[in-house]
Amino acid sequence: MLSTKDNEYLSRVAPGTPMGNWIRRFWTPLLLSEELEADGAPKEVRMYGEDLAVFRATDGQVGVIQALCPHRQAPMVYARNENNGLRCVYHGWNFDIHGHCTDMPNEPADSAFKEKVRAASYPVREAAGIIWVYMGPEHLKPEMPDMEWMRVPAEQRNTARFNLEGNWVQALEGDVDSSHVGFLHKRLVDLQTPSTPEQKYQAFDKAPKWIIQPTDYGMMIAARRNAEEDSYYWRINQVMFPYYTFVAGPLDQSAGLVHIWVPTDDTHTDIWTVMWRVKRPMTQQEREGMFGGPYPHIASYDPATHELRANHRNRFFQDRQAIKTETYSGIPGIREQDGAMTLGMGPIVDRTKEHLGTADTAVIALRRILISAARDLEKGTDPVAAADGAKYRNRAWSGVLKRHEDFLNDPEAAKMMETLVP
């Protein structure tokens, strides 16, 4: 468990907090590129406890500025988007993507006042169909992360974003807890008569052995289960700063899965899911299967609002009859299952009341590395990963290897860990 002081330190990301200062040192996924059109309606977005106005200007470039007009604090979400700027509809003040005031029509024509007024703005990049923003010190702007899924063609990946109530760290913790895979996400038939090797290993060995390897980009989490008499089944997940979790894919390494847990504020989290195929385009069935079919990854996703229809108030559509006959949780959708558990704990969970065991080794390690990273920045040590996008090229994987203890030096394991997309 954590002390009350450390729990607060870990959870809070508002401007000026240690964790907030640290997390702002990285590029942040903000919106899908498709959510904005040139001269279209601006969007009001909350990120790290700050309210922002986001718009695509006439020339296609994206601006991220403060949500309220610097003049009288009128909301810029109502602004006119025209002539490469947002024009506040209250008094007509116009601001470009860099926050410069380019026009003050209610001031005298010879006034230089507009040169003295500026809206707070942030640098923007677009990559992999996503709008990214950097909210840290301008002179310390880092490299973009160089992740495998960002380099595959658009037809090889599928991306979704939605927001849920609850703190970002407790949402993130769900992805480093490999032992829950044998329970929460299972169909009853897979527990009783597993049809694939992965299902068999997870069903018959529910208490994996953990190997945690801290890295300069976060940590590697190895969960080892018994396979055949001469082999182990390994699931190797990667945690990359500040909030990426790469989840082990199929044994043939043909597909990848990453979740991104971005704190919009202390008690709400933007959850991104990206699935991709390494060597071929995703089929239409695979794309649709992310949201539908008999066992969807996200069952209640509304693409119009980027929200889940399921939530704690409607109990994530849990079917109590399905618990008896179909699934372990009775909740449709893997993301919904995780959300019910991790975000159902409350806006910010009280970790002083926990009783952690060996199965929680990775969760304990995650908390330590996050707190340590923020404290290092307080002492003047910049995050290494932020300055080197190549740190993000390691991949998650699963595999069956011959039994021995030193898998980190196994050449077969090293080969699986290499990024497959050049």
> In terms of domains, do 122 and 205 share one?
no
The tens digit of pLDDT for each residue in 12-23 reads 999 999 999 999
Mean pLDDT for all residues in the chain = 92
Distance (Å, rounded) from C-alpha 122 to C-alpha 45? 13
CATH of the domain at 400: 3.90.380.10
pLDDT at 163 over 60: yes
Q: Are residues 164 and 183 in the same domain?
A: yes
Q: For residue 137, what pLDDT is reported?
A: 96
Q: What is the mean pLDDT of residues 121-143?
A: 97
pLDDT digits (tens, 9 = 90+) for 293-303: 888 999 999 98
Question: What is the pLDDT, as a whole number, of residue 380?
Answer: 97
Q: Give the per-residue pLDDT at 209.
A: 84
Instruction: Tell me which H or E stretch contains 401.
Output: strand 397-402
- State the pLDDT confidence band at 115, using cuts at 50, 70 and 90: very high
* The last residue of a domain, from among 138, 170, 189: 138
pLDDT at 408 over 70: no
Choosing from 103, 138, 173, the residue where a domain stops is 138
| Cβ-Cβ contacts under 8 Å for 177 (sequence gap 6 or more) | 359, 360, 362, 363
Cα dihedral sign, 422-25-4-272: negative
CB atoms within 10 A of CB 346: 13
350 and 316 together in one domain: yes
Could you tell me if residue 181 is inside a domain? yes
Secondary structure element (H or E) that encloses residue 175, with its range: helix 168-176
Residue 70's domain comprises: 27-138
The answer to whether the predicted template modeling score (pTM) of the entire model surpasses 0.85 is: yes
In a domain, 163, yes or no: yes
Collapsed DSSP state (helix, strand, coil) of residue 277: strand
Amino acid identity of 165? E
Query: Percentage of the chain surpassing pLDDT 70?
Result: 96
Residue 120 sits in a domain whose CATH number is 2.102.10.10
Q: Quick one: 369 and 229 in the same domain? A: yes
Based on the fold, state whether residues 121 and 184 are members of the same structural domain. no
State whether 166 and 32 are in the same domain.
no
Q: Which residue has the tokens 């909030």?
A: 243
132 and 279 inside one domain: no
Q: Average pLDDT for residues 341-358, to the nearest whole number?
A: 92
**What pLDDT is recorded for position 208?**
81
Structure tokens at 23: 């997390």
Over residues 203-243, the pLDDT tens digits come to 778 788 888 989 999 999 988 889 988 889 988 899 999 99
Q: Based on the fold, state whether residues 227 and 256 are members of the same structural domain.
A: yes
**CA-CA-CA-CA torsion for 59, 61, 64, 68, nearest 10 degrees?**
0
Q: Residues for the chain: how many in total? A: 422
The runs of H, that is alpha helices, within 276-422 are: 284-289, 320-325, 334-342, 361-378, 384-387, 411-417
- Asked if residue 106 and residue 232 are part of one domain, the reply reads no
Mean pLDDT for 63-68 is 98
pLDDT tens per residue, range 367-381: 999 999 999 999 999
Are 56 and 170 found together in one domain? no
| Residue 123 maps to a domain | yes
Q: Which of the four pLDDT bands, split at 50, 70 and 90, describes residue 417?
A: low
pLDDT at residue 303, as a whole number? 85
Query: Picking from 123-127, 219-223, 282-286, which range would have the lowest pLDDT averaged per residue?
Result: 219-223
Report the domain count for the chain: 2
Domain assignment present for residue 158? The answer is yes
Q: Which helix (H) or strand (E) holds 4?
A: helix 4-11
Do 107 and 164 belong together in one domain?
no
The conformation of residue 154, written as its DSSP 8-state character, comes to G
Q: Which domain-ending residue is among 114, 138, 162? A: 138
Amino acid at 19: M
Q: What is the pLDDT of residue 416?
A: 64
pLDDT at 210: 84
pLDDT of residue 415: 65
CB 170 within 8 A of CB 354: no
